[in-house]
Every structure is written in C-alpha cells, then in structure tokens.
C-alpha cells in the first residue's frame, strides 16, 4: 500500500526565513494530496490541496509543489512568522477512501 | 460551509470502563473517520465508514467499536479503557463530491485514571 515519509520531523527557523517541508510517497497512481496545519491543542486545519494534474498551488504565504516524477510533495513557507509555529501534516488519498498521513513536522518560528 | 462537532470535548474514565465518543457533521459527506492522535505524534486510523450503516476497520481497531447510525453521525466506543489509551480522538469526514477534502472535528481528549 501507499507509504508516506515526511521530513524533517522538527524544524526551527527565524522570522522572515523560508521553511520547507517535504513528503515522499510510493504509489504513482495517487492523485489527491493535502497539507494540514495543527496549532498546539487544536485540530487539523486544511491548508491546501493539490491534484495530480497540477504542480503548483499558492496560498497566503506558502506554496505547495508536486513533483510527480520524483513522487515528492513539498510545502514552502516563504517568509515565516511566529503564527506559523505549528505541526504540519501531509496526507495522500489512496483511492480506497483512506488517507495516508505523514508523521508530521513540528515547526518553530523564532521572532 | 459545514462543521464537525465532537462530544464530549474532554472525557475522563476509569480503567476497564466502556466509553463512547460522538461525532456529527453537517457537510452531508458520505465518508466519516475516527483517528487517534497520541501526544506529539501523527494520526492513526481506527475505523471509517463509507456510507450510512457501513463500517470498515482501520489499522488500530482492536479495543474499539464504531457505529454509523445515520449519514451525519459516527460514534466510537472504547470497549475497555486502558491507561495507555490517553490520547486525542479526531473525527473527520470527506466526500468525492468535494474532491476528497477531509475536514476534522475539534477532537475529544481522553484521560484514563
């Protein structure tokens, strides 16, 4: 079945710096990919979705890149601020109603 | 838009006790999920339900039961609470009609004494 590896598990950056989180997956037929943000003590908030037919999706202060050839999904926070401090999870929809989640990245943005 | 509500927000039980967690969604989503998240960890799938009255086991179903009585609600029962059960239980829903976007409830935090 699908396997997802997320790196790094912990990331600390200074305010204004960029932060990059990457997930690699194994099933070339996976089509729907998601990024979630989880603030301390809170639930998961959907940040962005990307489909296999798209490669770049931009949100407020971040960009999601999908490299289908390398089976890699990345989340780039362009200018991190303290409010970005949270756990981030990637998720891959496997096509049989299930999602495979990465183990998460705990991001800390230092002011 | 829609919302997922989970009750209770905090649940304290005794070891060996049977405990029930409830989830309601008004997205009109077909599929609902229960996940367990241990402190500082990722999500593990306990049960999911493709449609009303359907039940599918996830990777962590042992020690749990689930019930999907109607499309909008999905319950999870801890059959005999254990001390290592302490975690946050997250309910989620999704639908093919919304491009499989999965939305999460606020969670139920379980403490076992």
CA–CA distance, B75 with B89 (Å, rounded to integer): 11
Share of chain B above pLDDT 70, in %: 100
Torsion region of B107: left, alpha or beta (phi above 0 gives left; psi -120 to 50 gives alpha): left
CA–CA distance, B88 with B86 (Å, rounded to integer): 7
Question: Chain B partners of A53 at a C-beta cutoff of 8 Å?
Answer: none
**What is residue B88's predicted lDDT score, i.e. its pLDDT?**
96
Question: Chain A partners of B99 at a C-beta cutoff of 8 Å?
Answer: 32, 49, 51
**What is residue A96's predicted lDDT score, i.e. its pLDDT?**
84
Which among B42, B56, B102 has the least Cβ separation from residue A102? B42
Q: Decide if A108 touches B, using CB distance below 8 A.
A: no
Which among B40, B102, B105 has the least Cβ separation from residue A34? B102
What would the pLDDT profile of A14-30 be if each residue is shown by its tens digit? Answer: 999 999 999 999 998 88
Greatest distance between any 2 Cα atoms in chain B: 42
Specify the pairing of strand B103-104 against strand B4-7: unpaired
What would the pLDDT profile of A51-61 be if each residue is shown by its tens digit? Answer: 876 678 788 88
Residue B101 and residue A46: Cβ atoms within 8 Å?
A: yes
């Amino acid at each position: 079945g699908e396997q997802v590896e997320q790196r790094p598990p912990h990331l600390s950056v200074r305010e204004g710096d960029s932060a990059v989180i990457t997930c690699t997956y194994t099933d070339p037929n996976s089509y729907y990919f998601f990024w979630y943000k989880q603030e301390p003590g809170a639930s998961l908030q959907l940040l962005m979705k990307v489909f296999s037919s798209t490669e770049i999706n931009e949100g407020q202060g971040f960009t999601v890149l999908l490299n289908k050839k390398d089976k890699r999904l990345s989340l780039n926070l362009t200018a991190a601020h303290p409010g970005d401090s949270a756990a981030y999870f990637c998720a891959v929809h496997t096509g049989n109603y299930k999602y495979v989640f990465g183990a998460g990245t705990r991001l800390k943005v230092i002011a | 838009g829609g919302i997922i509500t989970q009750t209770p927000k905090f649940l304290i039980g005794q070891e060996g006790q049977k405990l029930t967690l409830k989830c309601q969604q008004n997205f009109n989503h077909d599929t609902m999920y229960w996940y367990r998240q241990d402190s500082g960890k990722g999500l593990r799938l306990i049960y999911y339900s493709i449609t009303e009255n359907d039940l599918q086991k996830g990777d962590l179903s042992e020690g749990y039961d689930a019930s999907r009585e109607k499309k909008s609600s999905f319950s999870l029962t801890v059959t005999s609470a254990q001390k290592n059960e302490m975690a946050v239980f997250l309910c989620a829903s999704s639908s093919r009609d919304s491009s499989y976007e999965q939305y999460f409830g606020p969670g139920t935090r379980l403490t076992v004494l």
